[in-house]
Amino acid sequence: MTYLFLDAVWQTVIRRTSDAGTRIYIATRTLAGTDAFKGEMIIFPPGTAGSAHHHEGAEHFKYVISGQGIALLKGDEVPLKTGDVIYNYEYEIHSSINEGEEDFVFVEFFIPGPCDTVWAPGANRCAWLPTGADNQGREPVRDIAYHVHGEDSGI
């Protein structure tokens, strides 16, 4: 599936080191010129999941663009489908899982943008590598360095 959402930005697509999950930063301090919010598009192919974690210093919401998945909130499973919105409070332990047969795609916005990500005991920290391409396979307009989610200053 092709996502045209960020076509005008030519933003670097980054890939999670643990599986085929991808992230595209939509709005960061560098891109938007503000710390008031931060936005990302996340793409979880079938069978992928995020590690349990919480955020300190921000709350955030997710809007499901396509596919279906499960949000784990303090251990409870909440099914999500296209068009659903879910809100995560500061300190609320959460993760997402794609148990479907198509990509589970959502955007999430953090308010304010800067925050710390705290991984649950035993969880894999979510690390990201740049792919060297944007969402259309073109050369991106700027590079993003390897980083762990929540340790992304300068992005």
Condensed to tens digits (0 to 9), the pLDDT of residues 3-57 reads 444 444 556 777 777 777 888 888 888 777 888 988 889 999 999 988 889 999 9
Phi, psi of 52 (to 5 degrees): -65, 135
User: By three-state DSSP, how is residue 30 classified?
Assistant: helix
HSE-up (13 A, CA, CB side) for residue 150: 15
**Residue type present at position 108:** E
CATH fold for domain 18-148? Jelly Rolls (2.60.120)
Distance CA 113, CA 61 (A): 12
* Range picked from 33-42, 102-111, 135-144 for highest mean pLDDT: 102-111
Reported confidence tier of residue 152, pLDDT bands at 50, 70, 90? low
